[in-house]
Amino acid sequence: MRRSATLLVAAALAATTALAACSSDPVAESAGGETQQITHAMGTTAVPAHPKRVVVLDTDKVDTAVSLGVPLVGATQPPEVDTFPAYLGDLSSVKNVGEISEPDLEAIAALKPDLILGSKFRQEKFYDELSAIAPTVFTERVGITWKENFLLDGKALGQEQKAKDLLNTYETRAKDLGKTIPDAANVKVSIVRFMPSEIRVYGPEGFSGIVIGDVGLGRPERQKLANKDDKRFDKVSPERIADLDGDVIFVTAQGPTAEAQKKKVVDGNLWKELSAVKAGQAYDVPAEVWMTGIGVTAAGQILDDVEKNLPKA
The confidence score (pLDDT) of residue 82 equals: 82
The confidence score (pLDDT) of residue 311 equals: 84
All domains of the chain, ordered by start, with CATH? 3-158 (3.40.50.1980), 175-309 (3.40.50.1980)
Nearby residues of 246 by Cβ (< 8 Å), 6 or more positions away: 188, 189, 190, 219, 220, 223, 276
The confidence score (pLDDT) of residue 30 equals: 46
Separation of alpha carbons 150 and 209, rounded Å: 17
The confidence score (pLDDT) of residue 32 equals: 56
The confidence score (pLDDT) of residue 143 equals: 84
Separation of alpha carbons 296 and 300, rounded Å: 6
- Whether 276 contacts 247, CB under 8 Å: yes
Q: In what order do the strands lie in the sheet with 248-253?
A: 233-236, 199-202, 189-194, 248-253, 282-284
The confidence score (pLDDT) of residue 160 equals: 97
- Whether 40 contacts 138, CB under 8 Å: yes
- In tens digits, the chain (313 residues) has pLDDT values of 443 444 444 444 444 433 333 333 344 444 457 999 999 999 999 999 999 999 999 999 999 999 999 999 999 998 878 889 999 999 999 999 999 999 999 999 999 999 999 999 999 999 999 999 999 999 999 889 999 999 999 999 999 999 999 999 999 999 999 999 999 999 999 999 999 999 999 999 999 999 999 999 999 999 999 999 999 999 999 999 999 999 999 999 988 999 999 999 999 999 999 999 999 999 999 999 999 999 999 999 999 999 999 988 6
E strands, the chain, where? 35-40, 43-48, 54-56, 72-77, 95-99, 102-103, 115-119, 136-139, 189-194, 199-202, 233-236, 248-253, 282-284
Task: Answer positive or negative: Cα dihedral of 231, 233, 235, 240.
Answer: positive
What is the number of other CB atoms lying within 10 angstroms of the CB of residue 106? 19
